Amino acid sequence: MAKRNIIKMGDPLLRKISKPVEDFDGRLSQLLDDMTETLHAVGGLGLAAPQVGILKRVCIVEYDEQLYELVNPVLIKSSGKCVDNEGCLSVVGFRGLVERPQIIDIEYFDRYGKKHAKHAEGYFARVFLHEMDHLDGILFSDKMIKKIIDED
């Protein structure tokens, strides 16, 4: 495994639409392993492949000590609305308040190509949606209704 470099806002790669994964191969597993190592090294709730400069529809979420590896994730259903505080490993110096759905259902594939469905609510849902936005070149700052400047 190897830790990868996280690119920051301003890098044009963060604004690209990522391509679906077609081959569930060793390279995909390597990417996922590297992303997990990178997330653990820097700390955070999730990381998307474009943040390490790879334009593939791959992201990871770690929530309640459970790691989710999402390949080609799709939002199936969403309802409700809630506003909460978000930050991003690619955005330095500020966080923001963002409105997102309260409840979601998503589908995705794992590293072996097996399909999964997941229901999530509240902040857990928010983390999935934040990471999935990265796959379409969207950052939380595009959606924030209030900017919160970091104290230090």
How buried is 141 (Cβ within 10 angstroms: 0-12 exposed, 13-18 middle, 19+ buried)?
Answer: middle
Of 6-14, 33-41, 80-88, 117-125, which segment contacts Zn ion by CB under 5 A? 80-88
Give the residue nearest to Zn ion (CB): 88
| CB nearer to Zn ion: pick between 24 and 123 | 123
CB of 139 to Zn ion, least distance (A): 7
- Near Zn ion by CB under 5 A, which window of 7-15, 20-28, 83-91, 117-125? 83-91
Asked whether 64 and 89 are in contact (CB, 8 A), the reply is no
Residue 114 beta carbon to Zn ion: minimum distance, rounded to whole angstroms: 26
Q: Does 28 bind Zn ion (CB under 5 A)?
A: no
Nearer to Zn ion, 24 or 143 (CB): 143
Q: Determine, following the binding rule CB under 5 A, whether residue 88 of this chain makes contact with Zn ion.
A: yes
Task: Say how many residues touch Zn ion, by CB under 5 A.
Answer: 1
146, 137, 110: which is closest to 7 by C-alpha? 137
- Binding segment toward Zn ion, per CB under 5 A, in 37-45, 59-67, 70-78, 87-95: 87-95
Q: Which residues does the annotation mark as catalytic?
A: 131
Long-range contacts of 66-71 (CB under 8 A, 24+ apart): 67/36, 68/118, 68/128, 69/32, 69/36, 69/110, 69/111, 70/106, 70/108, 70/109, 70/128, 70/131, 70/132, 71/21, 71/24, 71/28, 71/108, 71/109, 71/110, 71/111, 71/113
- Under rule CB under 5 A, residue 32 binds Zn ion: no
- Kindly list the residues in this chain that would bind Zn ion in the complex (CB under 5 A): 88
